[in-house]
Structure 1
Amino acid sequence: MRKTIFILNLIFSTLIFAQNPESSTLYEKEYSDLINYVPKNLKFDSIHKPESHLLQTELNTINSIQIYSGFRKDFKLSESDNQWLDNRINQIATELFLDGKRILVSAVGGYSGCPNKMIDTLQLNNIEIVNLKFCHTCANSYRDKKFIEIFNSKMYSLMEIEPPNRKTKLFYGEFQGRSKERYEIKLILKEERTFKYWVNKGHGSDFTEGLWKNINETLILNSRNLNKDDEISFALSSAKWIEFKGLEFRLKKGKLTELNGENRKLKQTVE
């Protein structure tokens, strides 16, 4: 009982601190506003209520549900209440998305400490996304693991973006090689999952760009759709547009080998 009271006092003080509007920087205010933002159409489920009275409160912000989720083991919640909490995280992610907010959460801290700026933006598939960072010590990083996993998984699904896996970072960067006609080819894979591809033919270049994703060691390239202005520009230039639809490469030891037939091979350059 004492432990529960201590945890509730800790949660209450944390929520009050996080809602303090007197932030010292613009980034801190932006961070505070976002983690305490209440989605417009978020409702409390009056039919499927949690069993534990600890959860019968307004868990209607990222801040509040993140904290309660982190203490779920300490609260010794039942299986049904754990499921209710998971559903609530999914619900908040969905309502934030419907309010036009594209958010992904990452964990920072540990031995290296936490950055001064705890909110950032990133681009994935040409979508601007807010990256919220949760600060941890070396001892408590496990608390937000469940929240981050569920929240990010739902947000990726809603944005129709393939979530990264443990292999994704291996693809970042520039790859170079030669076509079967011995022309120089270059492929740039950006962290925001866009790519650019050139075939240098001296007098001009064949070119394409679009979105990429990976399934384990397999890279998949899909060119973007050209609009009318693009078509006119290419018609007036010496460049030729190439279209990739599901072009696949296999990555092994920094080398990409095409799997679709032309046997293109590219090697990752070291900066």
Structure 2
Amino acid sequence: MERADTAGAAVLVAHGSPSDPVTQEAAVQALARAVAAELPGVWAVRAATLAADGALERVFDGLASGACVFPLFMSDGWFVGTALPRRLQALGRGGARILTPLGMLPAFHDLCAELVLAAIAAEGWRPDDTAVILAAHGSRRGEVPARRTREAAEAIASRAGVRSVQPGFVEQAPFLADTLRAAPPQALCLPFFAADAGHVTHDLPAAVAASGFRGPVLPAAGTAPGVVRIVARALCEIPRSDGS
């Protein structure tokens, strides 16, 4: 049950992995605990994945009606814009405030630029000589995820001062393997994913192997330690019902 003196309540929601729901469910719950520890005061921060059977239904038990939802997604595409609101409505939580997804936050773009620059420095390269391939999901359902990825690519390029940031997608053109194949010799790959799940552990290595790409491939951006601070900050910035 939620404590009466909590400063706020939030549910972190991720896609999860239908083929490995337990691992991804544990990962988002660990993130929720880390975010709660970062927040001032006492917060009720919980987490669930859409893929784990019954997880979203259980996570709201005992939470106040004002609990908000933080999407651990890279865009406001079909899952955030349609599937998640439908699921919440079915739970009687249709009025829950859904915050801006992780991948669309300027602070997350800052973090991505930091990850890129750290990798470039480790290679002894210059940013303005380095290309970045932004490995992303894309979507067969619509253009929103690709558009958000291109917006993120522009933001990261501006912040990092690199030669270019070019998206490559798992589900649509330009496909990731083709983008990696066309990369210049001095290039690295940043996976623009929220979790270290199937697209990162299977689709990305397959695309790297098929393309012959030999540059550094970084961990998924959404798994970086700095994400805890970004989520906590986003929750702290939610206007409270008392106007404070």
Q: Normalising by the residue count of structure 1, what TM-score does the alignment of the two structures yield?
A: 0.27
Hey, which of these two has a bigger chunk of strand by percent?
A: 1
- Larger Cα Rg: Structure 1 or Structure 2? 1
Larger RCO: 1 or 2 (CA < 8 Å, sep 6+): 2
Structure richer in helix, relative to its length: 2
Tell me the TM-score normalised to structure 2 length: 0.29
